[in-house]
Amino acid sequence: MTYPKPTRPIAFSDADQLAADAILAKVPQDSTLAIPASLPHRNHNIWNNNGSWSIAFTVHTPGYQVQRIRKSLSTGSLSLARHRRDLVLAALGHADQEEEDLPNMAA
C-alpha cells in the first residue's frame, strides 16, 4: 500500500537538528536503542501532547539498565515531528525506512 507524498516540500532547518540534539543530550553514552528494526506505523514513537508533538523511546544502558526517554519535539506539525524523530533515531543508529512503506495512523 502506498500513500501520497506531500504536495509541497517541507523546509527543514538547523532548528530541527538543534531540537534533535537537545533530545540526544538526555541519552546516556553507549546506550542501545530498544525499538523494532522497522517501525510499525508512520507515527511510531511520537504522540500529540495538547498540540505539541513529543517523542518517547527506550534505551538499554551499558549497566544493564533500561531508560525511557520522553521529550517534546517542540512543534505542532506532524511532518516536522516525524522528521525530528527520524533525526533522533538515526543518530542512535536506527535504520531509516521509507515513509510510503508505513501505514498512516492519522493524528
Task: Return averaged pLDDT per consecutive 10 residues of the chain, 107 residues in all.
Answer: 44 74 82 75 90 92 88 92 89 63 49
Residue among 95, 84, 94, 87 nearest 33 (CA): 94
For residue 16, give the 3-state DSSP assignment: helix
Is residue 102 one of the residues assigned to a domain?
no
Is residue 104 one of the residues assigned to a domain?
no
The reported pLDDT for the residue numbered 37 is 65
Residue-wise pLDDT for 65-93, tens only, equals: 898 999 999 999 999 999 999 888 888 88
Is residue 106 one of the residues assigned to a domain?
no
Is residue 8 one of the residues assigned to a domain?
no
**Could you tell me the pTM of the whole model?**
0.69
The reported pLDDT for the residue numbered 103 is 47
Parent domain of 79: 14-97
The reported pLDDT for the residue numbered 33 is 80
Q: In total, how many domains does the chain have?
A: 1
Is residue 91 one of the residues assigned to a domain?
yes
How many CA within 13 A on the CB side of residue 9? 3
- The packing angle between helices 78-91 and 14-24, to 10°, is 50
Q: E strand or H helix at 70, and its extent?
A: strand 66-72
The reported pLDDT for the residue numbered 53 is 95
Is residue 5 one of the residues assigned to a domain?
no
